[in-house]
Amino acid sequence: MKNNKNTYTEESIKSLDWKQHIRLRPGMYIGKLGDGSAKDDGIYVLIKEIIDNSIDEHLMGYGKIIKIRVKDYSVEVRDYGRGIPLGKVIDCVSKINTGGKYDSKAFQKSVGLNGVGSKAVNALSSKFYVESYRDGECKKAEFDKGELVIDDEINNTDEKNGTFIMFKPDNEIFKNYHYIPEYLEDQIWNYAFLNSGLSLNYNGRKFHSENGLLDLLTKKTDPDSIRYPIIHFKGNDIEYALTHTSNYGEEYYSFVNGQYTTHGGTHLSAFREGIVKTIREFFKKDYDASDIRASIAASIAIRVQEPIFESQTKTKLGSLSISPKGKKVRSFVNDFLKKELDNFLHKNSKVAEALQKRIMQSERERKEIAGIKKLANERAKKANLHNKKLRDCRVHFNDKKGDELLKNESVIFITEGDSASGSITKSRNVKTQAVFSLRGKPFNCFGYTKKIVYENEEFNLLQHALNIEDGLEGLRYNKIIIATDADVDGMHIRLLLLTYFLQFFPDLVRKGHVFILETPLFRVRNKKKTIYCFNDEERNSAIEEIGKNPEITRFKGLGEISPNEFKNFINDNIRLEPVILNENSKIKELLSFYMGKNTQQRQEFIIEKLRVEKDLFEVIE
């Protein structure tokens, strides 16, 4: 007899309208959700989708100013483009596959061509309000989670042509979300760098660039580390800037049609290949590609017709050609680079000499550690077979057959001690969460060369676990989460790990991959209710809520939190503090101050900033 519970009939087939589908499967439209602690969380994608429309107007020659305001969880964007045609305002923000970007003559090299962006924002917002101004007339409409609630008649207006959009992300979907100002500023600066002459006003602050990618690389690179002046060229639909620094690793910022392609793509692959090829031919020497690209800082931006991205969030370009019947992206980038860079080096012998010296230095350093590196790699492979330092998850960044959305959720917790790592291991999600256990405090690697990474077993094994020896392309986890106790020793371990990352793999921090896990300091409960508190203020509120005679527990270490409790803090409600390098941060100066030998200066800083806390003195005693 067949089981009726598994009956599959016509009634099993469901049809969802546009807003229902977006709300049910938001990851298909905006990537991962998140609470705003990561740069690529959905709430930033929502802002990007709206600003992209304003940028496209600017690219078509309409509007030189975009005003952006973010306050109290709501976002406002006002541009001075042509404005949405008044009779189509509602359709353009609420009907999938409706928009003006299908007409390639109107939007030849637009950021988005699929007509989904503003609809996704509308469906995922508890409130979405749009006004369009055209030639003295205005059309207004308001939506609630994609449902039209106000449809005003067309009225007269004194406003200049353009569009105004206000939205508030729905906190039912984006739980406990918050905007991090540094992320928004970085995002808006990129718009300014890629659109020379455009002014963006964000919360009253002006963002403007006249020199494009030259300004970007100048802003992103520590001037004291630059080995020669930044090389900058701009052509039709292509622009690049590059230099070499004293830092480790490769640092790239790549863009397509104004979109920051954080995962690169065909254009970045062509750029990296073209740099190697051009420099080899110029010096007539077959330098190793890794020596040429070591310590490079560069940026490339191209514009293509009908770009093909590997996901709706457009973080990786998949296009092979710059237009349907045009040149291949690879040859387009290589040909421009070959012509401009080769000519420049011939005309600027001092720059060419400095560039060659940096390559030769990288070559010497690589050969010095070659033997140690080989032994260290063999040791790491053997160690991974039998030790328990890494308890891996099932989905990795380099597993191309895996679910792309699931890969974006992959994380690794770096913790210290058996009890802490045991609690996390037992309570983690084995699909996406890995655990790396440290043995004691890491070595203070400030001032050492990369040789120490291979000589130090702990660092070498961590490097292999992350798969970052040859750069971030192989990074196996989207988030690297430092999970240490909230005491003096735990803070020290954090500093030592951050020193390691900033010294040898600074791009992990620059690209927003490194976080600090926030765990509860207190548990307040009675027989009916339990509340976990992350600070004194939350503890006091919990005591008031619980009422008389609550039981208050102070957690002094991660190992004190049972696995059953711990799972509440590393699931969807996880609290993460991103490690952010501020605009003016210079890594060398930063590490020198906190981890160098300036004892007196650091002592004075600590005394000045010290907060007197009972628990701190208990630990010191």
Please report which confidence band the pLDDT of residue 228 belongs to, taking 50, 70 and 90 as the band edges.
Answer: very high
Within this chain, domains 18-205 and 370-519+555-579 share the same CATH topology = no
Which CATH class, in words, describes the domain spanning 370-519+555-579? alpha beta
DSSP conformational letter for 225: G
**Model pLDDT, residue 111:** 57
Tokens found for residue 476: 């196996």
pLDDT in tens, 597-607: 766 676 666 66
**Model pLDDT, residue 208:** 96
User: CA 473, 475, 477, 481: dihedral to nearest 10 degrees?
Assistant: -120
Helix-strand-coil split of the chain, %, nearest 5 = 40, 20, 40
Q: What angle do CA 260, 262, 268 make, to 5 degrees?
A: 90
Residue 520 has pLDDT above 90, yes or no: no
Are the C-beta atoms of residues 261 and 254 closer than 8 Å to each other? yes
Residues forming beta bridges with residue 299, ordered by sequence position: 241, 253
User: CA 503, CA 594: separation in Å to the nearest integer?
Assistant: 13
Are the C-beta atoms of residues 477 and 511 closer than 8 Å to each other? no
**Model pLDDT, residue 285:** 96
User: CA 48, CA 292: separation in Å to the nearest integer?
Assistant: 35
Domain boundaries, the chain: 18-205, 213-366, 370-519+555-579
Are the C-beta atoms of residues 403 and 396 closer than 8 Å to each other? no
User: CA 435, CA 422: separation in Å to the nearest integer?
Assistant: 9
Please report which confidence band the pLDDT of residue 568 belongs to, taking 50, 70 and 90 as the band edges.
Answer: confident
pLDDT in tens, 414-447: 998 777 788 888 889 998 999 999 888 888 888 8
Are the C-beta atoms of residues 504 and 445 closer than 8 Å to each other? yes
Are the C-beta atoms of residues 52 and 75 closer than 8 Å to each other? no
Name the strand (E) or helix (H) holding 233.
strand 231-235
Please report which confidence band the pLDDT of residue 573 belongs to, taking 50, 70 and 90 as the band edges.
Answer: confident
pLDDT in tens, 139-185: 999 999 999 999 999 999 999 999 999 999 999 999 889 999 999 99
**Model pLDDT, residue 403:** 56
**Model pLDDT, residue 247:** 85
Residues 6 or more apart whose CB falls under 8 angstroms from that of 252 comprise 264, 268, 271, 272, 296, 298, 299, 300
Are the C-beta atoms of residues 336 and 238 closer than 8 Å to each other? yes
Match 């988005």 to its residue by tokens: 112
Nearest Cα neighbor of 294 from 342, 246, 230, 344 is 246
Section 199-224 average pLDDT: 93
- Give, in order, the Cα–Cα distances in Å from 613 to each of 487, 488, 606, 610: 11, 12, 14, 9
Residue 506 has pLDDT above 90, yes or no: no
Pairing outcome for strands 199-202 and 65-71 = parallel
Tokens found for residue 424: 């996390």
Residues composing the chain: 621
Please report which confidence band the pLDDT of residue 329 belongs to, taking 50, 70 and 90 as the band edges.
Answer: very high
Lowest-confidence pick of 145-149, 270-274, 439-443, 514-518? 439-443
DSSP conformational letter for 246: S
SS3 string, 126-185, reads: EEEEEEEEECCEEEEEEEECCEEEEECCCEECCCCCEEEEEEEECCCCCCCCCCCHHHHH
Q: What angle do CA 45, 268, 362 make, to 5 degrees?
A: 120
Section 325-349 average pLDDT: 93
**pTM of the full predicted structure?**
0.83
**Model pLDDT, residue 615:** 45
User: CA 287, CA 123: separation in Å to the nearest integer?
Assistant: 53
Residues forming beta bridges with residue 296, ordered by sequence position: 244
Ramachandran angles phi, psi of 309, nearest 5°:
-105, 160
DSSP 472-523: GGG---SEEEEE--SSHHHHHHHHHHHHHHHHH-HHHHHTT-EEEEE--SEE
Section 392-417 average pLDDT: 72
**Model pLDDT, residue 266:** 93
Average pLDDT score over the chain: 85
Tokens found for residue 351: 């720059």
Buried b (16+ CB within 10 A) or exposed e, 161-185: bbbbbbbebbeebbeebebbeebbb
User: CA 97, CA 110: separation in Å to the nearest integer?
Assistant: 15
Q: Which position has the higher pLDDT, 358 or 595?
A: 358
**Model pLDDT, residue 527:** 86
Ramachandran angles phi, psi of 198, nearest 5°:
-80, 140
Q: Please provide the CATH number assigned to the domain covering 213-366.
A: 3.30.230.10
Name the strand (E) or helix (H) holding 268.
helix 266-283
DSSP conformational letter for 190: H
Please report which confidence band the pLDDT of residue 377 belongs to, taking 50, 70 and 90 as the band edges.
Answer: confident
- Please measure the distance between the N-terminal and C-terminal CA atoms of the chain and give it in whole angstroms: 74
Residue 379 has pLDDT above 70, yes or no: yes
Burial of 371 (0-12, 13-18, 19+ CB in 10 A): exposed
**Model pLDDT, residue 5:** 57
Lowest-confidence pick of 70-84, 138-152, 302-316? 302-316
**Model pLDDT, residue 619:** 40
Residue 556 has pLDDT above 80, yes or no: no
Give residue 46's Cα distance to chain centre: 14
User: CA 598, CA 456: separation in Å to the nearest integer?
Assistant: 25
Residue 323 has pLDDT above 90, yes or no: no
Q: What percent of the chain clears pLDDT 70, i.e. is strictly above it? A: 86
Q: What percent of the chain clears pLDDT 90, i.e. is strictly above it? A: 44
Residue 555 has pLDDT above 90, yes or no: no
pLDDT in tens, 286-295: 999 999 999 9
**Model pLDDT, residue 606:** 62
**Model pLDDT, residue 613:** 42
User: CA 456, CA 439: separation in Å to the nearest integer?
Assistant: 12
**Model pLDDT, residue 120:** 92
Please report which confidence band the pLDDT of residue 411 belongs to, taking 50, 70 and 90 as the band edges.
Answer: very high
Residue 219 has pLDDT above 60, yes or no: yes
Name the strand (E) or helix (H) holding 364.
helix 349-368
Section 128-132 average pLDDT: 96
Residues 6 or more apart whose CB falls under 8 angstroms from that of 47 comprise 68, 70, 75, 77, 184, 187
Tokens found for residue 187: 């995002």
Section 560-583 average pLDDT: 83
Residues 6 or more apart whose CB falls under 8 angstroms from that of 285 comprise none
Residue 579 has pLDDT above 60, yes or no: yes
Match 């030592």 to its residue by tokens: 496
User: CA 43, CA 32: separation in Å to the nearest integer?
Assistant: 9
Section 544-566 average pLDDT: 85
Give residue 349's Cα distance to chain centre: 38
CATH topology of domain 18-205: Heat Shock Protein 90 (3.30.565)
